[in-house]
Structure 1
Amino acid sequence: MRRIVIVGASLAGLRAAQALRAEGFRGTLTLVGAEPHLPYDRPPLSKRQLTDAARPEDGDLPIPPDLDATWLLGTPAEALDPVARTVRLADGRELDYDGLVIATGAAARTHPAGHVPDGVHTLRGRDDATALRTELRAGRRITVVGGGFLGSEIAAAARGRGLDVTLVVSTAQPLARLVGEQVGAYVAELHRGAGIALVTHRTALGFTGNPALTQVVLSDGDTIDGELAVLALGAEPNTGWLAGSGLLVAGGVACDPCLRVLHENGASLPNVVAAGDVAMWPHPLADGASIALGHWSNAAEQAAAAARTLLRRDDARPFTAVPSFWSDLHGSTLRAVGLPALADEHRVARYDLLGRKLEVTYHRAGHLVGAVTVGRPGRLAAYRRILTEELLQAA
């Protein structure tokens, strides 16, 4: 290969570029990014970047001086022709490639309401975090809609800056769909202990105020007063630019076990791979079902694996890393490994809110598929080893 294009200039794109160079690729390397920024870390956006002490540049990812790459930033990809092997950019330029890495990530899911007034935010990129941070002033009222990790982290950060915070959750507990009721109950008590009001079994139906927000209207007709709201409703993979390309797109870019992108006819494309939030691939812990993961560790590890697959066509290996993620909430760090959301059984080994200790394991058909801990790093490492051994046996 002489020319490799990476569409997506965030963590996955950067790690893919580094891996390509480490694997010996000496050809032309071009990274295309929709944002005007060089790669930066996204996890701090809902944590440190919302605090008084943080600076946007603190999240910059280091770029090796010998990467020797061309950066085309602030110009998203608009179309792909895998037959002609070209990527068309929004400004009309076309890039030829011998190999392609799709790492376009995901965008914040927006609200279906027709009227979204000023003061309603989403958080996905650096500019979103900067805009939201300027609004987080002590004494203001903020409603966070969405009980996943992002919503919980934003609520915790806002409360830490002295705002009056309400967290609206569609389930009985925050995080319930992701890590179950037990961990959800633990996190709910952390929120309440910090002074956050929880509204459960409801979501946002719409908003009042023109031009500025005055109320969030809930699905049961109740309202929450306030001049600020954040929607943390999940993410949508950035796949719109692939329309008409013939690639199989279903909840993300469909890949084979080695991260080669699939055509609509089911065939793997040997010169196109995908990595990060946008990639859907079959995972052994999910019994071979295709999944997409929006975790930092997955983006970094998967990008390196995709780069190896692109260069080593005859020696490609399935990507089977153990997923892991973390969340900082009210001074506690929740850490997880595996795929807890797939479990049909949860086992609580430790639940100590006062001592900030938690240990829950997740099982599917009797087999360990995940674990979540707070203040138990040694136990989490043990569960990671077990999951790693299971993946090696499955391979």
Structure 2
Amino acid sequence: MARRSSIRRLVRSAWVRLAHGVRTRTLPVLLVFAGLSGIMLLLARGAAEYGRTLAMELGAEFLGALVVIFALTPIVRRSQQGRVREHRHLDFSWYTDRVMTATASVRILHTFSRLFSPPYSQRFFSAAAGLIRRGGRVEVLLMHPDSVAAVLRTTELAGRRDVSQESRRNLQTLEAFRQSLDENFRARFEIRLYTASASVQMYQWDDRLLASFLPLGKLSGDHSQLEVSTVSPLGSFVTERADELWDGGMALTEYWLTSVTLTDDEGRRQYACRFLDIGDRHYLADARVIAQLARAQNGSVRVEFRQCPGTVHGVDVITEGDPDLASVRQRFLEKYGQSETVFIRLNPFPPA
């Protein structure tokens, strides 16, 4: 009897694993095993010997497994998809555990996230790297630190956090991790920035996610989190909003560098430069551009760049004593985590 019970457990376990791995081939599997069950039941008919009795019991087990796997399991799965589990707050360690077991994708939508800062960042990046090596993807969508939306969200938090500063810190950390990945894996770790008001946060792993709306006066991570399936009504709403922001977002590479075209008496040259946008003023930090300005002593240099399509700018170098220099240096340090001493200020020409 013990042997029969052991065989039954093995059969059930094998069936469950097989059905989980071949969902797209459900019907052929159903037909094959239904045929095997029928053959075994025919062999055992009218016999009392052990072999035939065992065959009959195995046939019954096969039929029972078919009912559970192909009839009851989809019903249970559909009922679970609509279930909402509430968490009192966003537990980053708990979420990282889910990232470690993810098989396909991880997606994060937030203004900024404490997940990318100590004490959580090291463990999360280790889990993300493991997922990427397994062939999965990690996508992070954060609020652009220089956007109006970041200023508004800082106001909503009543000064508890500066969203622009926190987002800049996140971006430096994320870029450092991206650079640490093997070049073949970097394409599967992508960061984008959005400028609209999101009103919702999302921490997704495979077909599950944590969602919360951005409350007034406190961080959303300290607020209740709803765990749902991505195909549930709430999950679909949140993922659709994330998709919209992602499609309209800026790639992180465009945040670090801007495309600049310089024109002078010698012709046109293009550069990818580090830059700053402070209000409606724009600044460049690039030794190559400064060298070209030094060569063009007649002041004939004109600049066009991505942030202001169709607008031509004149340039001047910010030197010691310029009232802009201190604030530009500080902002550059916040954005890039590195200091710089010489900057170029762009001055738009009025339209012709």
TM-score over 0.5 for the pair: no
Tell me which protein shows more helix as a share of its residues.
2
Structure with more of its chain in strand, by fraction: 1
TM-score range, shorter chain: under 0.3
Q: TM-score, normalized by length of structure 2?
A: 0.22
Q: TM-score, normalised by structure 1?
A: 0.20
